[in-house]
Amino acid sequence: MLFNSIDFAIFLPIVFILYWFVTNINLKLQNALIVITSYIFYGWWDWKFLSLILFSTLVDYVVGAGLQKQENQTIRKMLLWTSIVVNLGFLGFFKYYNFFLENFITAFTFFGTEIQANTLNIILPVGISFYTFQTLSYSVDVYKRKLVPTTDFIAFAAFVSFFPQLVAGPIERAAHLLPQFYKKRSFNYLLAVDGMRQILWGLFKKIVIADSCAEYANLIFNNSADYSGSTLALGALFFAFQIYGDFSGYSDIAIGSSRLFGFDLMRNFNFPYFSRDIAEFWRRWHISLSTWFRDYLYIPLGGSRGGTGMKVRNTFIIFIVSGFWHGANWTFIAWGALNAIYFLPLLLTNNNRNNLETVALGKLVPNFRELSSIIVTFLLTVFAWIFFRAENIGHAWHFIRDMIGGLGTKNGYVQTIHLVNSKIGLALPALLLFFIIVEWIGREGEYALAHIGENWYRPIRWSFYFIIIFLIGMFMPSAESPFIYFQF
């Protein structure tokens, strides 16, 4: 079920009414309702894959209980590895089986040995990368005795399957989300209103910004050989706004929806395109995944505590694994490696934690140095996104070659101007400008609309909201558009 669908627009109010007006008499009933409705939400896509979520839930619940009772370190390690093998085994089979098989065949063919093997027609379960990491972190934390395992299976099942963040995050830690299922929840009007505002802005990001940019990013990337360098650069720019609007829009809707039910999810985006260096960008982009890899991979590897060689090794491991997490394609590995190259100079010169506060805090505009740093960081990010979006490494290479080689040509600028005038007109540039301004003004809040309009005269504030609602309705596509991260 998509957040930007009529189905969800009907589903959410029904669950809200049942949650607050029918099952509110008992906490276990509320948690059971969350489990049932979450399974309905996920099963709307394909009910057959509900068994994967249920099995993963059962395994990690049993592993957690066993780890609590068991003192023998060998048996505790066996229990932990059971969780790791089950979770990563499912993920590896559904997501990476064909990738490894194809590359295995290619490698042997390169050395002159022909191998006959058939790939499988495997359907990737939506959200498997997210909920497997969520349950896996529970087992690891219990193993390290950082968390007391739950004895409430319904609460644990609700934690694993909680529908707002089930298929594309944020990837929650059990220490943060699971205890919220133990406590009686009371309806909070102000919290619900705040949630609705965040849902509104998330829908604007997805429908008005991401889907509009997608139309032209797809046109340019899918026909890149036909376009000039300046048009290809425009396509990369459109994709940068598409993926940010799409994924951060999903996170806003997920977090806002959870607030309607009295839950607090972790922040997943913190205005990353206003970052002054790549290290700051990665502290602000997909925060739940970045911190997951930091805590469960980077730090156990030694982090940045060792010598230069270890720092370089760990940085490349964390970024390449992060890239590979996104998909079974060498383009994602190249994207991760490129970001590692961006990041290393900051790490090796101890400048990776220079920009911890919000840019131009308390100011209307940044100074020249801040603005320059933002622009350079953004352009580096846009360049890296080319690998993320390309069909394969060859496509990425030709796209970059044609883009750089074709910049500055008169015919190229004419083609770009023609594309903008004939296909996009003034609407999308104006919308992107509006979007950037609102995000900039609201950058000190939890999300862009968190504090904008707080002190405005009520009719003006509501007029602002109705403008956003009008734009969402105006740009709503005729066909439902899935979120990019559903494929990961």
Q: CA 219 to CA 242: how far, in whole Å? A: 13
Q: CA 295 to CA 173: how far, in whole Å? A: 11
- From the candidates 176, 286, 326, 451, give the one annotated as an active-site residue: 326
How many of the other CB atoms lie within 10 Å of CB of 367?
11
Q: CA 13 to CA 2: how far, in whole Å? A: 15
Kindly calculate the radius of gyration of the chain based on its CA atoms and give it in whole angstroms: 23
Q: CA 246 to CA 213: how far, in whole Å? A: 10
Percent helix, percent strand, percent coil in the chain, to nearest 5: 70, 0, 30
282-to-266, 291, 318, 322 alpha-carbon distances in Å: 16, 9, 12, 11
The answer to whether 176 is a known catalytic residue is no
Query: Quick check: 40 and 15 in contact, CB under 8 A?
Result: no
Q: CA 285 to CA 331: how far, in whole Å? A: 19
N residues, the chain: 488
Q: CA 196 to CA 467: how far, in whole Å? A: 15
DSSP 16-28: HHHHHHTSTT-HH
Q: CA 38 to CA 484: how far, in whole Å? A: 21
Catalytic residues: 326
